[in-house]
Amino acid sequence: YSHMDEPDLAETAYRMALNANPENERALVNLGLIHHKRGEFAEAIPLYEKAINVNTDSIYAYANLARIYARLQDDEQAEYYVEQYLNHGGKAEDL
Per-residue pLDDT tens digits for 14-60:
999 999 999 999 999 999 999 999 999 999 999 999 999 999 999 99
One-letter-per-residue 3-state SS of 20-87 = HCCCCHHHHHHHHHHHHHCCCHHHHHHHHHHHHHHCCCCHHHHHHHHHHHHHCCCHHHHHHHHHHHHH
Average pLDDT over residues 65-79: 98
Percent of the chain with pLDDT over 90: 91
User: What pTM did the predictor assign?
Assistant: 0.92
Q: Which pLDDT score is estimated for 49?
A: 99
Residue 7 reports pLDDT greater than 90: no
Question: Which CATH superfamily includes the segment(s) 2-94?
Answer: Tetratricopeptide repeat domain (1.25.40.10)
